[in-house]
């Protein structure tokens, strides 16, 4: 008992878990799992010293923001890029740098809430920019922007409606129209892309996840997006676009408060290199998860099933179902998958046992079924899933691990 208590106290509270929810980018579960190549780079950089702010070519003090900058400009085809703590920070820095004390035009249809405590109007207010709502919730025309432009207008903000979709009687100006308006008036456009997807998702029927490369190519002066959503890298916010704009952000004192550390830079650089080498499908776990076929997932599920014996009170089978991308991306698209379904009158207790196991296994409960989607389990972890399921299907075995099932709430 004492040993167990000591182990409990001396174990990190942030732990690795098995995500069988089928939600690929689960913000509650740490978003994107990182690539082994990225972690190798992290280990090399972090266990020793690094040239974080040291220019090896001249032996003088260097700048930390040059690293990912070179890779990002090459990958995205833009003049400059800057990395901060997350996309919320990127948007905040962009607004504060370009629009402090001035007005920012944004469609009423884009005044969104992304998740816990991230609301566009709140970020705008805190950045000391003045929100100027244009249009209506469902329809905003170009003329709505035009008529509200005055000498206090500093920025046009366009936000990707990440985690919801509007259907029916709705419209907003095209990106081209807003770019033309920007050109005609000299007011820059900042596009908050959210996910910033560089993967090809069109073959999965997902066509509305914007690609930063495309936006920049079309001439958007400044975009921002997350590092740990569909890019599949570490938590980071990436600003990319024109030199003149990025340079202003570099010298904003706020940048110092929002900048990233060597751990983030090392993982982000390695992630970007996978894309540059066109090896993202093999190397980035998120890309592998999105691409894995139903047949492959079904085979893995069958192998697990073959090693389980269900007690009389329970049935286990394979059923068709859907995985989702999550993380505020493609909310209306499921990716077909094959799920392990446990049916039992005690499904809530079983869910709790799996969740509190070691390692914790998180599954979905739907009606009286517990559903496990292997799309979000790394194939090398299938054995851990099998072991976790066996422990909870066989209470005798659970007892031998020191747990008393009757004693748990
Ligand atoms: C997710 C999201 C953000 C916030 O990104 P974080 O990296 O979590 O800070 C901002 N804007 C949009 C449009 C998003 O989808």
Which of 25, 30, 87, 127 should be mutated for ligand 1, with most atoms under 8 A from CB? 87
Cα separation, 238 vs 269, whole angstroms: 12
Which of 119, 229, 239 should be mutated for ligand 1, with most atoms under 8 A from CB? 229
Query: At 107, which helix (H) or strand (E)?
Result: strand 103-107
For the cut 50, the answer to whether the pLDDT of residue 242 exceeds it is yes
What is the Å distance from ligand 1's center to 72 Cα? 19
Q: Nearest residue CA, atom 15 of ligand 1?
A: 194
Q: How confident is the model at residue 403 (pLDDT cuts 50, 70, 90)?
A: very low
Cα separation, 392 vs 354, whole angstroms: 7
The domain spanning residue 344 has which CATH number?
A: 3.90.1150.180
Q: Which pLDDT tens digit goes with each residue over 249-291? A: 999 999 999 999 999 999 999 999 999 999 999 999 999 999 9
In residues, how long is the chain? 409
Q: Which of 220, 254, 283 is the last residue of a domain?
A: 283
Q: Nearest residue CA, atom 2 of ligand 1?
A: 194
What is the Å distance from ligand 1's center to 17 Cα? 24
- pLDDT reported for residue 329: 83
Residue 84 shares a structural domain with residue 165: yes
Helix (H, G, I), strand (E, B) or coil at 370: strand
Q: Which pLDDT tens digit goes with each residue over 197-228? A: 999 888 777 888 899 999 999 999 999 999 99
- pLDDT reported for residue 397: 53
Residue 225 shares a structural domain with residue 154: yes
Residue 12 shares a structural domain with residue 49: no
What is the Å distance from ligand 1's center to 241 Cα? 18
Q: Which of 283, 318, 340 is the last residue of a domain?
A: 283
Q: What is the DSSP secondary structure assignment for residue 53, as one 8-state letter? A: T
Residue 296 shares a structural domain with residue 275: no
What is the Å distance from ligand 1's center to 313 Cα? 44
- pLDDT reported for residue 402: 36
Residue 273 shares a structural domain with residue 296: no
Residue 321 shares a structural domain with residue 277: no
What does the pLDDT average to over 344-357?
94
- Contacts made by residues 380-386, CB under 8 angstroms, sequence distance 24+: 381/18, 382/300, 382/303, 382/304, 384/18, 384/359, 385/18, 385/20, 385/304, 385/361, 386/304, 386/307, 386/308
Q: Which of 283, 316, 332 is the last residue of a domain?
A: 283
What is the Å distance from ligand 1's center to 70 Cα? 23
Q: Nearest residue CA, atom 14 of ligand 1?
A: 194
pLDDT-above-90 percentage for the chain: 83
Instruction: Enumerate the H helices of 170-276 as residue ranges.
Output: 175-185, 212-218, 243-250, 253-258, 262-276
What is the Å distance from ligand 1's center to 273 Cα? 23
Residue 290 and residue 199 in contact, taking contact as beta carbons nearer than 8 Å: yes
Residue 212 shares a structural domain with residue 303: no
Q: Which atom of ligand 1 is nearest to the CA of 88?
A: 9
For the cut 90, the answer to whether the pLDDT of residue 120 exceeds it is yes
What is the Å distance from ligand 1's center to 194 Cα? 5
Q: Which atom of ligand 1 is nearest to the CA of 228?
A: 7
Could you report how far apart the first and last alpha carbons of the chain are, in Å? 19
Residue 182 shares a structural domain with residue 61: yes
Query: At 316, which helix (H) or strand (E)?
Result: strand 315-326
Share of the chain residues as helix, strand and coil, in percent rounded to the nearest 5: 40, 20, 35
| Closest to 194 measured CA to CA, from 166, 162, 221, 164 | 162
Residue 104 shares a structural domain with residue 238: yes
What is the Å distance from ligand 1's center to 161 Cα? 10
What is the Å distance from ligand 1's center to 60 Cα? 36
Q: Nearest residue CA, atom 5 of ligand 1?
A: 87
Cα separation, 65 vs 373, whole angstroms: 39
Cα separation, 407 vs 409, whole angstroms: 7
Q: Which pLDDT tens digit goes with each residue over 7-46? A: 888 889 999 999 999 999 999 999 999 999 999 999 999 9
What does the pLDDT average to over 140-157?
97
What does the pLDDT average to over 370-397?
92
The residue ranking higher by pLDDT, 334 or 330, is 334
Residue 32 and residue 228 in contact, taking contact as beta carbons nearer than 8 Å: yes
Greatest alpha-carbon pair distance for the chain in Å reads 75
Residue 375 and residue 324 in contact, taking contact as beta carbons nearer than 8 Å: no
Cα separation, 75 vs 208, whole angstroms: 20
Residue 143 shares a structural domain with residue 219: yes
Q: Which atom of ligand 1 is nearest to the CA of 193?
A: 13
Q: Which residues of 315-346 are buried (b: 16+ CB within 10 A; e: fewer)?
A: ebeeeebebbbbbbbbeebebebbbbbbbbeb
Residue 261: burial class (beta carbons within 10 Å; 0-12, 13-18, 19+): exposed
What does the pLDDT average to over 107-118?
88
Q: Nearest residue CA, atom 11 of ligand 1?
A: 194
Residue 8 shares a structural domain with residue 95: no
Q: How confident is the model at residue 408 (pLDDT cuts 50, 70, 90)?
A: very low
- pLDDT reported for residue 400: 38
Residue 102 and residue 188 in contact, taking contact as beta carbons nearer than 8 Å: no
Cα separation, 130 vs 174, whole angstroms: 24
Domain that includes residue 51, residue range = 36-283
The domain spanning residue 184 has which CATH number?
A: 3.40.640.10
Residue 44 shares a structural domain with residue 21: no
What does the pLDDT average to over 77-84?
98
Cα separation, 71 vs 214, whole angstroms: 17
Which of 328, 329, 330 should be mutated for ligand 1, with most atoms under 8 A from CB? 328
Q: Please give the tally of structural domains in the chain.
A: 2
């Amino acid at each position: 008992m004492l040993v167990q208590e000591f182990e409990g106290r001396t174990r990190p509270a942030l732990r690795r878990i098995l995500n069988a929810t089928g939600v690929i980018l689960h913000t509650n579960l740490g978003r994107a799992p990182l690539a082994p190549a990225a972690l190798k780079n992290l280990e090399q950089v972090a266990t020793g010293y690094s040239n974080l702010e040291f220019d090896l070519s001249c032996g003088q003090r260097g700048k930390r923001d040059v690293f990912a900058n070179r890779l990002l400009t090459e990958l995205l085809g833009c003049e400059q890029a800057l990395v901060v703590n997350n996309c919320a920070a990127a948007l905040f820095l962009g607004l504060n740098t370009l629009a402090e004390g001035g007005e920012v035009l944004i469609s009423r249809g884009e005044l969104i809430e992304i998740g816990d405590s991230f609301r566009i109007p709140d970020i705008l207010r805190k950045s000391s920019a003045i929100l100027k709502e244009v249009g209506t919730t469902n329809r905003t025309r170009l003329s709505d922007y035009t008529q509200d432009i005055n000498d206090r207008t500093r920025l046009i903000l366009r936000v990707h409606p990440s985690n919801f979709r509007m259907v029916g009687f709705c419209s907003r100006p095209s990106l081209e129209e807003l770019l033309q308006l920007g050109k005609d008036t000299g007011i820059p456009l900042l596009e908050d892309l959210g996910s910033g997807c560089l993967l090809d998702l069109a073959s999965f029927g997902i066509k509305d996840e914007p690609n930063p490369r495309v936006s920049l190519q079309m001439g958007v002066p400044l975009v921002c997006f997350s590092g740990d959503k569909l890019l599949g890298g570490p938590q980071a916010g990436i600003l990319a676009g024109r030199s003149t704009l990025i340079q202003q952000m570099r010298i904003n004192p706020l940048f110092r408060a929002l900048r990233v550390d060597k751990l983030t830079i090392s993982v982000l650089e390695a992630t970007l290199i996978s894309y540059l080498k066109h090896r993202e499908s093999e190397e980035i776990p998120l890309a592998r998860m999105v691409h894995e076929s139903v047949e492959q997932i079904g085979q893995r599920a069958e192998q697990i099933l073959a090693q389980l014996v269900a007690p009389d009170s329970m049935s286990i089978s394979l059923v068709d179902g859907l995985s989702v991308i999550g993380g505020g991306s493609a909310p209306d698209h499921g990716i077909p998958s094959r799920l392990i379904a446990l049916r039992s009158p005690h499904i809530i207790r079983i869910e709790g046992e799996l969740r509190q196991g070691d390692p914790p296994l998180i599954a979905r409960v739907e009606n009286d079924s517990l559903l496990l989607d292997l799309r979000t389990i790394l194939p090398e972890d299938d054995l851990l899933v099998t072991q976790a399921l066996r422990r909870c299907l066989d209470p005798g075995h659970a007892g031998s691990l020191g747990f008393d099932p009757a004693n748990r709430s």
